[in-house]
A and B are shown apart, each in its own frame.
Chain A
């Protein structure tokens, strides 16, 4: 189990790169990479030679997240101005612009079947679900206010939702917030189930294990990665090793490993059997905001504040 550096693109963007995702292969082309940056652009890359395919403009302020539809045909990008732009990957034709003011937009993810886009709604303390056929808002999964708190209480803003993840069976959504709590929702009934505790600092990234719909990984500013049994409400293990905030986490398609990107400028590979860091990549010179496994496996990509994109072989 290891990473081997394949290629890095320096100055891939003019500014910090904040988001990355793989666009699955279609019948006509192989998988692509989608990156979003503070420079207000979204770029599309051919991952074999890391050649720039296209630069999408149209966002104001920085691009904070990108998401690709499982079909690989459409993708979404979101920026600090709270707009979500849905576009055709191959033509860059705009399909929809989503806005649920005053809710901000942070992490986004399409459900495994591709019928719904879940968007972490920031200060609205909710996850917004958009229908991918009609691009209508179909549900708002709100985190219930803790009892005994007045609506004006400042602490309510702590349930600021930053991250969101679909379980591989599409029945659950987990979302992470600024105060460290993770909330689990039943999607079909649009119902809040329970909190997962253990973090007390922002949870910026969440991912379910692709092989086990109960297992959820969380990355937090407290430098730890937690592995939860999301159904049993229990913390399976905590993994420490990063020197600063853990900004991003992704699970390998085989479910045997996870990778994390951190403010400490490293990308780490964790063996889930050993529950320990196997490898630490130090090629980035600034915060690593995004890491992502290729859905088919074999490749991992990371993006950083140092404006670069790095591609690794995972074996």
Chain B
């Protein structure tokens, strides 16, 4: 047993003090020490022994007594021991300060420690141990640099001073210079090979930090050998085991942690690691307990941060976001720089995102991203936040990056796709497809939403096959397959009930009765609807109708299915059924604007103007005027109302037009890119005669409308053509009409053919005009107006041929044939009008018949004349030819006879010959003049004549020019009248017919050379009859212009245009609906 011997003063005796039997009360020993004036080293030994036994109080008592002023005085020359005592106290208080968690007391301890060291320094300022103590104190206080200088002072004096070496090693470690630190530790070990395990621990930590894990492990193990209860070494080894990241390692690590915990339950590091472990095993109660203890025992920022993080995570996983947020926040607060420990930022970001605090979440995730710029999860999270904040481009960029970094992350591609769907469908499609491939490869089920979205995008791009496949994939197996197949089975419906075929649900009832289960999962309804929509688009209407009905059979409230069925019925002209279906839809939702708008359309189609207007109003009100379709419909309504009035009350017309314009403008303000509104505005402008502006508008709309399968705007083509027509650019107008017909109507629209015919008429291309009309009749056989128009065209053609100054017999013959046709057409109409098949006035037709017959008579005479002339020409030519031949023969004979004999007469002879040849030429020319080859030239001469005449007339006075125009307008009036179903008898029209009759009657009386005069006479006739309608003249320009448009704008055509407009809008509504579905799909994903 170790003991110390306190020498008794002034004797040889000693007091033996057994160190393991030190008295409980240190005063006893102190008394002895003082009484015997024992050497100070004994004081120190005894104090140290007390400390070793954990009797800190006694330790302190002895040392404090040993450093008291009396001692100083008494032992003034015993310097080293005094210093040792002071230093021991310094170390003691340093330690106290180090472990103290409360800041104030910590400071106090450090102050005390500093005081002791200062005192020691005063005794001997070169004492190395004091400096070492000071260094350690500074280290404890975190003043690394000052600590380093303290240690350096010591090492300069003695480079093998072990404590200083250790201190310096610690300094270097804290500075992060691990290899330097390692060097100091190594030196310390060399100097003092039997040093305690702590040095080995230091070496181990340095090696660990330097990444020399094997050597680090050895060092820790050695430290543990030296001191099996060295918690730090144990924890260090455990951490290394855990980081090995394999089941066995983790188990071993956890065992070591546990041992460390058992040895010393207050090691924060061990506590944190244990908590971490229990977090993963889901024992949240333990996590909380451990971390709370850890927090209580440590003051070390990073460790605390870890503890808070563990706690926050625990709450986070339990769904207590408020608390989790608080602890994450606490954790973040303990961190100086985010790169030290980034996880809590991520957790905080997640919680804030969950709680809807996007801005804060954004900053936190961005911090994470700074440190891990390639972290996909963070990129995606940020992407989502940017979407929420509406910064789509930024979100796209991030998601694209995420998808690029991890090209196997299906979710990233899905997110990206959903983001892109509204801006770049092509890229969105690619993203969705990649996601689909990835999921398929991984053997996971592809979400219905993704397949649906792929289908919809293909659909929009017009890739119907792919869309079909995708929808089918999304739907998978189900009743619909059987239904689509069962089309082959016979479903006999009574023909009289077949009108209701689109409402028929018997199919499904029968199906159920057959023992089949009709089932339609809710999440497939949208896909089914889209598939049906697609089938409609590829014209498989029957199948589409079955699917819509299936949806309704299971989900009676699916309004859009009703509306699509109604649209199908409407397309098939089954208005009654269509209205019924829309009403079904309105039963579900009486304010559904789409249904109301559709009802309005149907009512318009039924010619129920007042009702339609009310319905459109209701549709508009149902959406607070925000539904552009309803507003547009009202605009259209006003526009038609402006033009439908046969009496053309100018005031009313202006009001309606103004109102229409206002409504169109309102839509444009709300939706700047609404093509239909722009088109409407263009029409109103054109109506007011501002052709250039409206042309620009139409052209822009036309350009914008190309490119999507859902936007089909034939109207704008027609309108553009109308404008070209009105501006006299007939060639372009024709091209536009033809393209429109072909592009949008499969050449089936008789109305556009009528526009085309009218353009040909204006361009005086009579045959093309007639052909167009015949085609139109073929398409719309019951439209007798077209027949009337064809009659007029033929009449006009004949009249114009007869008015020509020169024409061939062939021309006249065809004119006669044409007139006969015209007569036949008009007679037919006249006869048919007896049956009240159409609204023509019999009198008017008879006028035409008579006129044509008249013309025919005239033409027949002309034909005879022309034929006679032709005959004469032929005879003359024949005679001339024979004369020439005879001459030739005679000449040749004479030549032969007289060539040698009468050389002198040769010159005369040749002269004569020349004359004869000239004659022959003249005759030939004459002959040629009556053949078609010269026709054109002569006609242009004729035109010149006409110009001359009109100039002459102009010279005569302005009034005449007006009249000239008015006579021309008769044709137009007549023609335009023909286009109107209800013909009104107007005197000037008959005059117009008379107009022809008179000059031609006169022509009848004239001889062949009458042509030149005919023009004059025609002019005269025009002059005469223009007196009758002189008042008409001023309005003609306006009237003509209006008619140019009115061809399309009058009642019937315009109703058609409205229909078109609305059909198209219906389609676009369909598209909108699909978009809704898409976003629904997106929402579903979000929830996931």
Binding site for B on A (CB under 8 A): 15-16, 18, 38, 60-62, 64, 80-82, 101-102, 104, 106, 122-124, 151-152, 154, 156-158, 160, 162, 178, 180, 196-201, 221-224, 228-229, 232-245, 262-265, 273-276, 286-287, 305
Contacts and interface: CB of A to CB of B under 8 A. Distances in A.
Interface string B719-756: 00000000000000000000000000111100000000
Given A101-B831, A162-B781, A198-B498, A243 B539 contact: yes
Contacts of B573: 180, 200-201, 222
Contacts of A124: 835
Given A82-B828, A101-B831, A157-B837, A237 B574 contact: no
Interface stretch (B76-84, B485-493, B860-868, B1036-1044): B485-493
B487 A276 contact: yes
A287 B831 contact: no
Contacts of A223: 539, 541, 571-572
B900 interface: no
A245 to B, nearest CB: 5
A228 B496 CA distance: 11
Given A38-B775, A157-B837, A235-B498, A240 B543 contact: yes
Given A235-B498, A236-B492, A274-B488, A245 B778 contact: no
A124 to B, nearest CB: 7
22 contacts: A38-B774, A62-B774, A62-B778, A101-B827, A104-B828, A106-B781, A123-B837, A157-B837, A160-B782, A198-B499, A200-B572, A201-B572, A229-B495, A232-B495, A233-B495, A234-B495, A235-B495, A236-B492, A240-B543, A244-B746, A275-B488, A276-B488
Contacts of A263: 746-748
Contact of A305 (B747, B817, B824, B831): B747
B930 interface: no
A54 B708 CA distance: 48
Nearest to A159: B782
Interface string B624-648: 0000000000000000000000000
A242 B539 contact: yes
Contacts of B782: 122-123, 157-158, 160, 178
A240 to B, nearest CB: 4
A160 B781 contact: yes
B544 to A, nearest CB: 8
Given A223-B539, A223-B541, A241-B539, A236 B781 contact: no
B487 to A, nearest CB: 6
The 10 closest A-B pairs by CB, nearest first: A102-B831, A200-B573, A160-B782, A244-B746, A263-B746, A222-B572, A240-B541, A235-B498, A102-B832, A198-B498
B838 interface: yes
Contacts of A238: 501, 542
Contacts of A286: 747
A102 B837 CA distance: 11
Contact of B835 (A123, A221, A273): A123
Nearest to A199: B572
Given A102-B835, A235-B498, A81 B825 contact: yes
B821 interface: yes
A104 B494 CA distance: 33
Given A123-B832, A238-B501, A265 B746 contact: yes
B821 A81 contact: yes
Interface size class of B (residues with CB under 8 A): 35 or more
B487 A61 contact: no
A18 B748 CA distance: 14
B777 interface: yes
A158 B322 CA distance: 75
A268 to B, nearest CB: 11
A6 B745 CA distance: 29
B1050 to A, nearest CB: 17
Nearest to B576: A200
A279 B836 CA distance: 45
A57 to B, nearest CB: 11
A80 B490 contact: no
B400 to A, nearest CB: 39
B466 to A, nearest CB: 19
Given A197-B498, A201-B573, A224 B541 contact: yes
A44 to B, nearest CB: 22
A222 B545 CA distance: 15
A229 B492 contact: yes
B276 to A, nearest CB: 65
B771 interface: yes
A101 B539 CA distance: 40
B810 interface: no
Q: Is the interface of B mostly helix, strand, loop or mixed?
A: helix
Contacts of A15: 771
Nearest to B494: A234
B894 interface: no
Contacts of A233: 494-496
Contacts of B491: 237
A238 B824 CA distance: 41
B577 to A, nearest CB: 9
Contacts of B499: 197-198
Contacts of A122: 781-782
**From A18, A64, A104, A229, residue with most partner B Cβ within 10 Å:** A104
Contacts of B748: 221, 244-245, 263, 287
A239 B836 CA distance: 36
**From A61, A154, A274, residue with most partner B Cβ within 10 Å:** A61
A233 B492 CA distance: 10
B836 A151 contact: yes
Contact of B746 (A162, A196, A197, A245): A245
Contacts of A232: 492, 495
B488 A222 contact: no
B1008 interface: no
A61 B746 contact: no
Contacts of B493: 234-235
A224 B778 CA distance: 20
Contacts of B541: 223-224, 240
B909 interface: no
A208 B597 CA distance: 41
Given A81-B821, A235-B498, A178 B835 contact: no
Contact of B828 (A60, A102, A234): A102
A239 B539 CA distance: 10
Given A81-B821, A152-B836, A237-B490, A200 B781 contact: no
Contacts of B501: 198, 235, 238
B152 to A, nearest CB: 94
B540 interface: yes
B660 to A, nearest CB: 28
A220 B837 CA distance: 23
Interface string B786-798: 0000100000000
Nearest to A104: B781
Contacts of A239: 542
A102 B826 CA distance: 11
Contacts of A229: 492, 495
Contacts of A62: 774-775, 778
Given A160-B782, A238-B542, A197 B572 contact: no
B300 to A, nearest CB: 78
Nearest to B818: A60
B960 to A, nearest CB: 40
B746 A200 contact: no
Contacts of A180: 573
Contacts of B834: 102
B783 to A, nearest CB: 9
Contacts of B835: 102, 123-124
Contacts of B778: 18, 38, 62, 64, 80
Contacts of B839: 154
Contacts of B540: 240-241
A82 B824 CA distance: 9
B781 to A, nearest CB: 6
